Amino acid sequence: MNPLRNPLHVIVAGGGIAGLCLAQGLRASGVDVRVHERDDSPAARAQGYRLGLKETGARALRECLPGDLYRLCRATAIRTATRMIFLDEQLRPRFQREIPPPPGGDDAPFGVNRLTLREILLTGLEDVVRFGSAVERYEPAPGGRVRVVFADGSQDVADLLVGADGTGSAVRRQLVPDAVIDELDRAVWGRTPITPALLDRIPPELVDSFNRVLGPAGAALSVATCRTPEPPSRAAARIAPRACLTDVPGYFSWMVAVPGGERPSAPADLHRLAARTVETWHPALGDLVAAADRDGTFGVSITSARPVRPWAEPAVTLLGDAIHTMSPGRGDGANVALQHAALLSRLLAGRASLAEAKQAYETRMLRDGFAAVERSRQAPFAPFARTGGAR
């Protein structure tokens, strides 16, 4: 039956949102967990744009996090958008409607800055997370366990290895070598600080809204307003003083979908490509891109995984983008990953055997995860669609 050891030892490859949520849940359940993250620090690279958490994602966080940290998540939420609007490149509305206020309750949908959420998830895991440690491969170990080999040559043995190391997962490449991930699109992501002067030039349709500007030949731009009611550090001091949060000044997060085959990689070249795409559009859009943090501009690959068959490896599993990366068209990616992190934590804490818990997790994760992938493939790509319906 492969009974659960006391304590069970779990290694998580990847310290992103899902891996850290799982680690929080396992730690609370008394499971011995270690997270190995290839980045040198939480701020080693750009953390991406805002996350829109649905009720499922919010509920998963609430289940796995200590109460004060979950309250801090909600206190540092980004202001809620008030309308959805689609416009042409001269900012003439094509469609718009008001967005009703989200329902109340502990699991109400909310948006959050990705860096802020990651820092909250890291709180209390200082002795659990090892940065600058990439999982390179694994191999069987005696007793049905798994030996994990890291890029620096070090090794560790665990009862379970969870690959939560993203779309380029090294764990997936070994576990499911025939897995296929399709690239659906490419886009340029940018970040523009909000200043009073810039706010005066940006039309109100693009502020605190979920929007999409549709240009010619398939080009498009979306803008998200990212502002919190108070600085994250002040909220942490008030709610969870043990959390160390980076203050993130208000900013516009934008994404330009660029048709054609041009795919630069350097931030300056990506910024020029975005600026060139919108140069004949409404002047406010040019102002928005021109004022961006050029060094923080980066390319985004929109990917979607194809379904895979269950695997027979008894001590290795996968979580989140490492197995079912998906288009942000419906905003299910982060929410499904968090939901599955809470599921795996719950099953490992409550089942009589590791084999039973692992099988129950993988059956549901593969079924629900790839159903979400298929729904996202059918949805139009909208980088910043509504919270509760967008990543």
Q: What percent of the chain has pLDDT over 70?
A: 94
Q: Is residue 390 part of a domain?
A: no
Q: Is residue 116 part of a domain?
A: yes
Q: What gap in Å lies between CA 84 and CA 125, rounded to an integer?
A: 38
pLDDT at position 383, please? 43
Instruction: Provide the number of structural domains found in the chain.
Output: 1
pLDDT at position 4, please? 52
Span 111-124, average pLDDT = 94
CATH of the domain at 81: 3.50.50.60
The three-state DSSP-derived secondary structure of 106-123 is: CCCCEEECHHHHHHHHHC
Q: Is residue 353 part of a domain?
A: yes
- The domain in which residue 96 lies consists of 9-378
As a whole number, the mean pLDDT across the chain is 91
Q: What gap in Å lies between CA 358 and CA 347, rounded to an integer?
A: 8
Q: What gap in Å lies between CA 219 and CA 260, rounded to an integer?
A: 9
pTM score, whole prediction: 0.91
pLDDT at position 143, please? 93
pLDDT band (50, 70, 90) for residue 2 = very low
pLDDT, tens digit (0-9, with 9 covering 90-100), for 242-282 = 999 999 899 999 999 887 767 788 999 999 999 999 999 99
Q: Is residue 384 part of a domain?
A: no
Span 70-82, average pLDDT = 92
β-strands 32-37, 129-131 pairing: parallel
Q: What gap in Å lies between CA 17 and CA 25, rounded to an integer?
A: 12
Q: Is residue 4 part of a domain?
A: no
Q: Is residue 331 part of a domain?
A: yes
Q: Is residue 371 part of a domain?
A: yes
Q: What gap in Å lies between CA 180 and CA 135, rounded to an integer?
A: 21
Q: Select from 39, 37, 31 the least CA-distant residue to 158.
A: 31
- Tell me the three state secondary structure of residue 287: helix
pLDDT at position 300 over 90: no
pLDDT at position 381, please? 52
Q: Is residue 389 part of a domain?
A: no
* Lowest-confidence region among 37-46, 331-340, 369-378: 37-46
pLDDT band (50, 70, 90) for residue 239 = very high
